Amino acid sequence: MAKILKPTEENLRDIRKFLRLGELVAIPTETVYGLAANALDADACAKIFAAKQRPNNDPLICHVASYEALERFCETNDASKILADAFWPGPLTFVLPKKSSIPDIVTAGLDSVAVRSPSHPVFRQLIEDCDFPLAAPSANPFAYISPTLARHVQANLGDRIEYILDGGPCEHGVESTIMDLRDPANPKILRYGALPIEKIENALKRRLIRPEPNSNQTAISIAPGSLPKHYSPRTLLELRSNAVRESELTESDQSIAYLLLRKPLHARANNIHWLSENGELKAIASRLYAKLRELDETGYKKIIAEEAPELGLGLAINDRLRRASFR
């Protein structure tokens, strides 16, 4: 079983050595836990695909300490500079033309690479003394719910890796927002995520085209990992676009879990669950994956979940819920 390590100086030194030797370590970020390897070492990165059972055509994100580190790995431009100045370190990933230092396995043979600089203090402490970037997808088995606690990683990948670095619960709880910046004059949203699109639009001083929910045609060709079924519990998940009424809750079948956006006024049966007190999107996003895991483990025959409003973090929450409900 993998050891969960506290982020002491000594443990961080050992983890850097282990990564340098070409091994995998699960690490905390402010979005979700990642499964990291030296991004310049093709054999090490191959181990990520094997441990996650991830198809080889699904490229990895490279994590760097700073914007300055990027020049070695990809071509930057005005748009990446503006967005990095505004949001890095943080939950925003850029897709940019890659340089030859990044092995093909990392980018699934594409001529672009996805890069971000996380803000999690433990992650930063780790990478600041690494002389290589870290390739890291979310530390879940392919298509399952992403981990937001060290013990989630332990439960799913504990028998396939040796170390999990514990950085506590992830602040955002959903993955980074991904922007295609290959053409700086025409930035595109590839994945809704923890950084709301409206903030990116403000920084770029332009409106962006919103991908239609579940319109995977364009997304798949550019971001091969954006499959309609993803982030999925084993339990069937049904989505409701309107709030569930209290009358339905009070008469509900106990074998069905209700996942509400906010605490209901009266209904308090064991099968009624909520993600926030008052509907705050930040709280909802940060608890979503942990709650889905909990419900998946309880053995309900179905989960009925409410959709969030279609704005800000609600776009990322709904994107994950729709993929989780896809059958």
The most distant pair of C-alpha atoms in the chain lies apart, rounded to whole Å, by: 61
Cα–Cα distance, 172 to 29 (Å, whole number): 9
Q: Closest separation between CB of residue 146 and Mg ion, Å?
A: 6
Q: Please report how close the Cβ of residue 250 comes to ligand TXA at its closest, in angstroms.
A: 38
E strands, the chain, are 3-5, 25-27, 34-38, 61-63, 92-97, 112-116, 134-135, 163-165, 177-180, 188-191, 236-240, 256-260, 272-274, 302-306
Please tell me the distance from the alpha carbon of residue 327 to that of residue 324, in angstroms, as a whole number. 8
105 backbone dihedrals φ, ψ, rounded to 5°: -60, -35
Count the site residues for Mg ion by CB under 5 A: 1
80 belongs to the binding site for Mg ion (CB under 5 A): no
**112 or 232, CB closer to ligand TXA?**
112
Would you count residue 133 as binding ligand TXA (CB under 6 A)?
Answer: no
**For ligand TXA, which residue of 7, 28, 29, 144 counts as binding (CB under 6 A)?**
29
Contact residue for ligand TXA among 5, 164, 178, 283 (CB under 6 A): 178
The residue at minimum Cβ distance from Mg ion is 138
Residues written for the chain:
327
User: Does the protein bind Mg ion through residue 138 (CB under 5 A)?
Assistant: yes
CA atoms within 13 A on the CB side of 314: 12
Among the listed residues 7, 28, 34, 233, the single contact to ligand TXA using CB under 6 A:
34
Listed in sequence order, the DSSP H helices in 270-312 are 281-298
Assess 58 for contact with ligand TXA (CB under 6 A).
yes
- HSE value, Cβ hemisphere, 13 Å, CA-based, for 223: 26
Binding mask 179-218 for ligand TXA (x = CB under 6 A): -----------x----------------------------
Q: What residue ranges bind Mg ion (CB under 5 A)?
A: 138
Q: What residue ranges bind ligand TXA (CB under 6 A)?
A: 29, 31-32, 34, 58-61, 91, 93, 95, 107, 110, 112-114, 136-138, 175-176, 178, 190, 222-226
